[in-house]
């Protein structure tokens, strides 16, 4: 992995709070921010997967309900 620099502008109070929290956890500010972003990315991906899974489940349920009325079990007399 080739490290890449990512920079952003943040208010001074945000930067100070971030540095203080990182220090309290015995981490560098960079490691703290990197871990926070990784956790946020994982949470966003999980939320996206849940959304898509629910959407797909709803679609399948609708398809199954639509087919229930058209498919017989073959036991009814004709």
Confidence of residue 37 (pLDDT cuts 50, 70, 90): very high
Judge contact between 29 and 16, C-beta under 8 A.
no
3-state secondary structure of 8: coil
Render pLDDT for 20-31 as a digit per residue (tens, 0 to 9).
999 999 999 999
The model's pTM: 0.65
3-state secondary structure of 25: coil
């Amino acid at each position: 992995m080739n490290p890449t620099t990512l920079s952003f502008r943040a208010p001074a109070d945000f930067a100070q709070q971030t540095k203080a929290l990182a220090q309290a956890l015995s981490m560098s500010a960079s490691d703290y921010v990197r871990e926070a972003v990784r956790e946020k990315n994982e949470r966003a991906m999980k939320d996206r997967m849940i959304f898509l899974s629910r959407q797909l489940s709803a679609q399948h349920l609708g398809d199954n309900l639509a087919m229930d009325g058209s498919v017989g079990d073959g036991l009814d007399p004709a």
